[in-house]
């Protein structure tokens, strides 16, 4: 048994809510001591001593209501955020699958965006160029590949983004609710590609509200609720409990609308 | 080794993107990098030279408009970069939230982009110098790259700080614009440190790092001479600013993804 690809040991992540500064610099300065004290105490705990492991080649689904800490967990794995406490170990090259066109510049063509995106995600220029043909072919964009990305439909953007990541040889792939793009045929193709990643031994963390997709792609699932692990088990069992709780109307906690979690 | 190659590639691609995107959908395109400072020079020439009657003091053998051109082109590079970099992290929020690349490459590419625009406008400065019967000198050959280096480091250092701080304190973008306005008049662009009226408080003006730099440009173009003293001062400021900028950036970069 090799070392797990991802290890979270009592990981805590809190965000400081900067209401006071946003509320006006004057208020902030005139009540400086109180403001600073409030700033320090006014924290939102996105993840609270969360521990889990993902074995190499395993796919873990992460489910839960908005604000439960799913995206925070992904950002911590991607090393975009640093934890306030606890330890995170990630072994292998981590790649995020970005949501619709997030990494693309609208004025550049599809082809130019592929190269820029590939380099941003960690490849050398020549490595991206060597894969350019495959990426373009997979995206099925045809002659649109030399048109500015702003002319693309949502489905086309999704296809381009997915095609890039699919060909970058990730060892750990982070997927944050992006499979709902494109037409049915393309979704099926993405699902197949996900399965192919699985067969190739790519470790996956899959955040989704689509319980069916979680069951199909992931062996195990983690249910996060207000920053804590509520359940971590086989994906069938976890999604079933979550759906039951949703039906019972008790899964949605109070969620601050800060857009971070 | 791969790390170095990778970051060179990344900076290259980002700079290329900036170059492609800047003048997309504008009819005059690259010409704007030349037209902008020239238009500014025209405005100041009319406003200050013709209406208020600012004259180059006796003993200096260059017209006022030439002084303006020599200072405004480098100034344009500096102020464009600082302005753009103040918003560079906010503008790339979606990438910063998801991908863990070295954040500094974004301001770096922006400053490099403006450097390219400055470089292609150097022949235009030279053209105007020739029109005013200034002879090219050998000092241009080494003075140009040395001053470009000092200006590059200075601009990048300040951009690191404004870009990072702006994420935590959004009012900064507005403050930077006012600050740049102020800085413009504190910098020898529409005057020279050598003018007798200015020379009296020359030392105070040189507290501003940009004063030594632009003064170096003026000396190089207008007198055909490389001022080692001004360059050393500018370079000294640049190195200190770079150290400070990197320190501030390092302190803040871990929280970028939380605040974008």
Nearest by CB to A102, which of B10, B98, B168? B98
Kindly report the nearest CA distance between residue A172 and chain B, in angstroms: 13
Q: What is the pLDDT of residue A166?
A: 83
Rounded mean pLDDT, A240-258? 69
Residue A40 CA to its chain's centroid (Å): 28
B144-156 residue pLDDT tens:
999 999 999 999 9
B73-113 residue pLDDT tens:
999 999 999 999 999 999 998 889 888 899 999 999 999 99
Asked if residue A29 lies in contact with residue A23, where contact means CB atoms within 8 angstroms, the answer is no
Q: What is the pLDDT of residue A258?
A: 43
**% of chain B with per-residue pLDDT over 70:** 100
The domain locations on chain A are: 6-93+170-248
Q: What is the pLDDT of residue B61?
A: 85
B197-217 residue pLDDT tens:
888 889 999 999 999 999 999
Nearest by CB to B99, which of A112, A121, A125? A121
Q: Are strands A228-234 and A220-225 parallel, antiparallel or unpaired?
A: antiparallel
Kindly report the nearest CA distance between residue B60 and chain A, in angstroms: 48
Kindly report the nearest CA distance between residue B13 and chain A, in angstroms: 6
Chain B residues with CB under 8 Å of A102 CB are 94-95, 98
Rounded mean pLDDT, A79-89? 93
Among B99, B169, B250, which would you mutate to test the A interface (most chain A Cβ atoms within 10 Å of its Cβ)? Answer: B99
CA angle A136, A141, A143 (to 5 degrees): 95
Q: What is the pLDDT of residue A103?
A: 78
In the structure, what pLDDT confidence band is assigned to residue A15 with cuts at 50, 70 and 90? confident
Whole-number mean pLDDT of chain B?
A: 93
Distances (CA, A) of B245 to A213, B88, B155, B217, B240: 46, 16, 10, 24, 8
Residue of B nearest to A46 (CA): B258
In the structure, what pLDDT confidence band is assigned to residue A145 with cuts at 50, 70 and 90? very high
Nearest by CB to A105, which of B21, B97, B259? B21
Q: Are strands A203-207 and A59-63 parallel, antiparallel or unpaired?
A: parallel
Map tokens 């037409």 to a residue.
Answer: A183
The structure tokens listed for B159 are: 């951009």
Asked if residue A174 lies in contact with residue A96, where contact means CB atoms within 8 angstroms, the answer is yes
Rounded mean pLDDT, B187-198? 93
3-state secondary structure B157-226: HHHHHHHHHHHHCCCHHHHHHHHHHHHHHHCCCCCCCCCHHHHCCHHHHCCCHHHHHHHHHHHHHHHCCC
Q: What is the pLDDT of residue A27?
A: 64
The structure tokens listed for A80 are: 């975009």
Chain B residues with CB under 8 Å of A82 CB are 254
pTM for this one? 0.88
The structure tokens listed for B95 are: 């990438």
Backbone φ and ψ of A226, nearest 5°: 45, 45
Chain A residues with CB under 8 Å of B2 CB are 124
Q: How far apart are CA A98 and CA B95, in angstroms?
A: 9
Task: For chain B, count helices (H), then strands (E).
Answer: 13, 0
For B20-80, the DSSP string reads HHHTTT-SSTTHHHHHHHHHHHHHHIIIIIIII---PPTT--S-HHHHHHHHHHHHHHHHH
B13-33 residue pLDDT tens:
999 999 988 877 777 778 888
Q: Are strands A85-90 and A94-97 parallel, antiparallel or unpaired?
A: unpaired
Provide the edge-to-edge strand list for the sheet that holds A228-234.
Answer: A94-97, A172-176, A203-207, A59-63, A220-225, A228-234
**% of chain A with per-residue pLDDT over 90:** 48
What is A6-93+170-248's CATH number? 3.40.50.300
Rounded mean pLDDT, B184-194? 95
Q: What is the pLDDT of residue A33?
A: 72
Map tokens 């200006």 to a residue.
Answer: B151
């Amino acid at each position: 048994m090799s070392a797990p690809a991802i290890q979270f040991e009592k990981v805590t992540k809190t965000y400081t809510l900067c209401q006071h500064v946003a509320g006006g610099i004057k208020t902030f300065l005139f009540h400086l001591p109180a403001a600073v004290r409030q700033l320090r105490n006014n924290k939102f705990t996105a993840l609270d001593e969360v521990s889990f492991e993902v074995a190499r080649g395993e796919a873990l689904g992460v489910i839960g209501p908005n604000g439960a800490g799913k995206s925070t967990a992904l950002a911590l794995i991607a090393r975009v955020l640093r934890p306030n406490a606890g330890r995170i170990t990630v072994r292998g090259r981590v790649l995020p699958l970005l949501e619709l066109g997030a990494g693309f510049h609208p004025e550049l063509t599809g082809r130019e965006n592929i190269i820029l995106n590939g380099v941003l995600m960690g490849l050398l220029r020549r490595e991206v160029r060597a894969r350019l043909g495959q990426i373009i072919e997979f995206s099925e964009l045809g002659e649109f590949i030399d048109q500015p990305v702003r002319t693309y439909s949502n489905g086309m953007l999704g296809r381009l983004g997915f095609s890039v990541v699919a060909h970058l040889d990730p060892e750990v792939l982070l997927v944050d609710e992006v499979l709902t793009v494109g037409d049915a045929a393309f979704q099926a193709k993405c699902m197949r590609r996900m399965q192919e990643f699985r067969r190739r031994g790519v470790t996956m963390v899959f955040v989704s509200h689509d319980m069916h997709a979680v069951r199909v792609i992931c062996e195990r699932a983690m249910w996060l609720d207000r920053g804590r692990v509520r359940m971590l088990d086989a994906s069938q069992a976890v999604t079933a409990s979550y759906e039951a709780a949703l039906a019972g109307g008790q899964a949605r906690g109070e969620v601050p609308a800060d857009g971070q979690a | 080794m791969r790390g170095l190659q990778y970051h060179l590639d990344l900076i290259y691609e980002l700079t290329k993107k900036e170059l492609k995107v800047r003048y997309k959908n504008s009819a005059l395109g690259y010409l704007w990098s030349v037209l902008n400072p020239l238009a500014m020079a025209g405005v100041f020439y009319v406003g200050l030279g013709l209406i208020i009657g600012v004259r180059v003091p006796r003993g200096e053998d260059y017209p006022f408009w030439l002084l303006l051109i020599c200072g405004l082109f480098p100034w344009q590079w500096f102020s464009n970069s600082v302005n753009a970099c103040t918003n560079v992290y906010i503008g790339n929020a979606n990438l910063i939230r998801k991908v863990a690349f070295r954040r500094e490459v974004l301001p770096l590419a922006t400053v490099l982009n403006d450097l390219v625009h400055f470089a292609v406008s150097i022949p235009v400065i030279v053209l105007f110098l020739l029109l005013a019967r200034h002879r090219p000198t050998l000092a241009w050959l080494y003075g140009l790259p040395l001053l470009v280096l000092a200006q590059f480091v200075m601009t990048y250092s300040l951009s690191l700080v404004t870009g990072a701080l702006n994420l935590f304190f959004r009012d900064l973008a507005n403050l930077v614009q006012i600050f740049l306005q102020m800085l413009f008049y504190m910098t020898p662009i529409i005057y020279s440190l050598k003018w007798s009226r200015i020379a009296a408080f020359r030392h105070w003006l040189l507290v501003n790092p940009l004063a030594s730099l632009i003064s170096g440009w003026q000396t190089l173009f207008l007198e055909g001479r490389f001022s080692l003293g001004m360059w050393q001062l500018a370079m000294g400021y640049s190195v200190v600013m770079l150290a400070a900028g990197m320190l501030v950036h390092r302190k803040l970069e871990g929280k970028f993804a939380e605040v974008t």
